[in-house]
Structures are given as C-alpha cells and as structure tokens.
Amino acid sequence: MTIRKEYVHSCEPEKLYEVAMKEAEPYISKFNVKISRISENVFEAKVSIFGKGIIEVQKDKIIITVDSSFLGMPGMKEKVEEMMDKYMTELIEKCKAQ
C-alpha cells in the first residue's frame, strides 16, 4: 500500500534537507534507516522489512511517498499520515525559524 502527500514550504531545499537530517538522526540510528540520494533533490529511505519512502524536495513543496505492506493493517495508514503531517509541520516551522 502507498501513501503520497505534498507539503508546501518556503525554505531553501538544501536548508530544509539539512534541518531534516539533523532532526531525523535519532530515528535513522534507532531504526537503521538507509538513505540514498537518487538525484539532486530526491532521496530514498529504506527501513529493512518495513518498506521505503521517496522524498522529493522542490522549491515550494515536498512530496513524500511511503510504500509498505504494513500500511494495510487496520488503522496503520491513518496513523502514519498523522505522524507525517505532524513531523512535516514541525520541520517546516524549524526551517523557517532558522
């Protein structure tokens, strides 16, 4: 199952990436997330058997696609969407504040 969400922002893409990596570091280590850069502003994150995500940082928006079989579990898709919304709102606010 797949989730695709877009978030509008007004930060420089590279600055947003730096803030995101700093904020995500504890989770990257804890869950052994593998991040690779696909192109200048597109990244892929894989979390072992749990699935993968694609993050595309554009000048005015971020597009996140999460693909995982676990999203088919009851209530899981909604929980993940809620977490994504919360995290992205906080991240964009931190980026704007810097």
17-71 tens-digit pLDDT:
889 888 888 888 888 889 999 998 899 999 888 899 999 999 999 999 999 999 9
Q: Is 75 helix (H, G, I), strand (E, B) or coil?
A: coil
Please check whether residue 96 is in contact with residue 25, taking contact to mean a CB–CB distance below 8 angstroms. Answer: no
Average pLDDT over residues 76-87: 93
Sequence letter at residue 98: Q
pLDDT at 30: 83
Q: How far is CA 53 from CA 4, 10, 28, 69, 85, in A?
A: 10, 22, 13, 12, 15
pLDDT at 21: 85
Bridge partners, residue 47, by sequence: 51
Residue 2 pLDDT level (bands cut at 50, 70, 90)? very high
pLDDT at 48: 82
pTM for the model stands at 0.86
pLDDT at 70: 92
Average pLDDT over residues 77-91: 93
pLDDT at 77: 94
- Class (C level, CATH) for 2-97: alpha beta
Task: Please enumerate in sequence order all residues whose Cβ is within 8 A of that of 13, keeping only pairs 6 or more positions apart, or say none.
Answer: 41, 57, 58, 59
